Structure 1
Amino acid sequence: MKRVPALDLGERPAVKSFADWGRRNEQLVRDPAMQLLARGVWAQSSEPLSPLQRAALLQQHLRTRDNHLRVTGLNALELLDLPIGETQSWVNPLLGHRAGERESEFETAKLTPHLSWHGTRVRTFAGQLRMTKSRGLSRYYGPWGCFVAHPVEALVVAAPYLSVWRLIACVDALLSRRIVVDEKVTLRDFTADVIEDALELFPPTSPSVRRVRAALRAAYDQVWSPSETLTRLIALRHGFPPPRTNYHVTPQGRHFYIDLAWPDSMTAIEYNGEVHYKKRSHYEDENYPIQLIRDSGWDVQVLVWRDLWEPERRRTWLNFLARNLGPPTRKF
């Protein structure tokens, strides 16, 4: 179980009403170091506030004893560093997935602060802002002292904007990580049973709930990156046996983990993501264990992002799996 910190929003800006700033609204509008947060409320920031920063500040500004506000949806998932993102056009057809109901609106939704309320509904003049009724699940302290929605609730709210594979990647991450909100707060382990129990609080016929439940059925634990999720889904789509994820091996008494492994045939796939080519130390540290694993009898194929999306390169590693694991059930 990996410990993963929540997103750092940087230094929190001061937030006051125009009266507390001791200046008229017209003066504040002309000041590039002041950002309008809601009607009559200004944040002191020389840079425009990001949607995440606005959501965190609005949550604190608007919350009362009666409304129990929290940051939710895509904003919450991003704050918790879950692998949300757009889906490139080739992915859904390759995996046989239907696009999400509002998948094309992902960027717009991500750029809009999104809060949920539990108790008294909030009425506000905060400009662009989405408000959703909460189911009352636990909330967590987040950056800048804001409250963040329960990850499962945030995932249900965000589900219409995410592709199937992104939903699966988010559930993979929940099953595989311990999210550290700050030095004192660590989110509990999210087992499949914990996630299912949380989903029981939502209407069972809700399309979003059904999509998250389907993602839970397809999710694995011990998955460290969304690219590992996508690689696994491509292999499964072509009929190869389910792999073991981050499989523990000990060549020459050293401890390593293989991203995707088929132990019966000593076949493995290692995915090298952005960190491997941006940091020389990661690149060097990765090559040494791969060679040790190969020397111990494993047949290892190393992939990068282009191997997933480019058809000819994708056929190369799928042929590698076919040679080692047997013929696939689907042509490629």
Structure 2
Amino acid sequence: MRRVPALDLGEYPEVKPFADWGRRNEQLLRDPSMQSLARGLWVHSSEPLSPVQRAALLQRHLKTSKNFLRVTGLSALELLDLPIGETQSWVNPLLGHRAPEREAEFDAAMSVPHLSWHGNRIRTYAAGCRITKSRGLSRYYGPWGCFVAHPVEALVVAAPYLSMWRLIACVDALLSRRIVVEEKVPLRAFTAEVIGEALDQLPPSSPSVRRVRTALHAAYDQVWSPNETLTRLIALRHGFPPPRTNYHVAPRGRHFYIDLAWPESMTAIEYNGEVHYKNRSQYENENYRLQLIREAGWDVQVLVWRDLWDPEQRRSWLDFLARKLGPPTRKV
């Protein structure tokens, strides 16, 4: 399990009540470096605050000893740097997934800080902020000293906006990462058992709970990127046997990990993202790594993003798998 940092929010800004700034309201309004966080609460920041920064600040400054406020939903998943995002139009039909109920509202939901309360209901004049009731699962320390909802509860809250493959990628990430927030505070390890126990505390008939449970059944550990998840799901959808994820090999005594591996036939798929071609050193290291793995007898196919979405290029690597692994059990 890798230790992975939570989202870097940058330098913590100065936040004070209106009276403590020693300036009139009109002066604060005219100053582009001053931003209103909530009624009577102002932030000094040279750049506009992002929705997730606002969520972290609002949690800290609106919390009381009675409301147990936390950042939740998409805001919490973004703070924990889980692989949320939109889904391109070709993905759901290819994987046989139905679009989520509120997919069209994803951008709007991402632009609004989302908090939840547990205990006494909170009332606030903070504009452009969504506040809902929590189911009461544990909360966790997050960036900028805020508290975030239990990642499973946050995932259930966000589920109506996220496609199934995104939910699976998020669960993959929870199983594979030990998320470290500021001050070197790590979140607990989220095993399949821990995630399942958290889901058991939520309403079983909830469509969002059922979707996250489905994602858990399809998730793997040892997965380092969402596009590895998507590649795996495409291969499985076309009837190929389950691969081993980030499979350990040691050619010439060097230790490497293969993204998707079928060890019985020495077949492998490597997905190369932007870092592999934007960073020359990374590109050179990757070529040497692949050379050693191939010399050890592995047949490796290297994919980039276009190999996933372009039908002709996708057919090419699926044909490669068919030659190496045998005919798939289904055709899509």
TM-score, length-scaled by structure 2: 0.98
2:38 aligns to what?
Answer: 38
Q: Secondary structure at the match of 2:183?
A: coil
Q: Secondary structure at the match of 2:85?
A: coil
Matches within 5 A, 1:202-221: 202-221=202-221
Q: Secondary structure at the match of 1:126?
A: coil
2:134 aligns to what?
Answer: 134
Quote how far apart the aligned CAs of 1:26 are. Answer: 1.5
Matched, 1:151 2:136: no
Contact 2:239 2:331 in 1 (8 A): no
Contact 2:144 2:182 in 1 (8 A): no
1:326 aligns to what?
Answer: 326
Percent identity over paired residues: 82
1:8 aligns to what?
Answer: 8
Q: Secondary structure at the match of 2:203?
A: coil
1:94 aligns to what?
Answer: 94
Matches within 5 A, 1:104-183: 104-183=104-183
Moved more, 27-36 or 233-242: 27-36
Alignment RMSD, CA only?
1.0
Q: Secondary structure at the match of 2:23?
A: coil
Q: Secondary structure at the match of 1:285?
A: helix
Quote how far apart the aligned CAs of 1:271 are. Answer: 0.5
Contact 1:140 1:149 in 2 (8 A): yes
Distance in 2, matches of 1:35 and 1:260, equals 47
Matches within 5 A, 1:46-61: 46-61=46-61
Distance in 1, matches of 2:265 and 2:11, equals 51
Q: Secondary structure at the match of 1:89?
A: coil
Quote how far apart the aligned CAs of 1:182 are. Answer: 2.5
Matches within 5 A, 1:206-245: 206-245=206-245
Matched, 1:200 2:200: yes
Quote how far apart the aligned CAs of 1:300 are. Answer: 0.4
TM-score, length-scaled by structure 1: 0.98
Matched, 1:246 2:246: yes
Q: Secondary structure at the match of 1:312?
A: helix
Distance in 2, matches of 1:66 and 1:121, equals 9
1:314 aligns to what?
Answer: 314
Contact 1:25 1:40 in 2 (8 A): no
Could you list the runs of 5+ residues in structure 1 that have no partner in the other structure?
none
Q: Secondary structure at the match of 1:128?
A: coil
Contact 2:172 2:229 in 1 (8 A): yes
Quote how far apart the aligned CAs of 1:204 are. Answer: 0.2
2:70 aligns to what?
Answer: 70
Contact 1:69 1:115 in 2 (8 A): yes
Q: Deviations over 1:263-307 (max 9, x none)?
A: 111100000011111111111111111111111111100000010
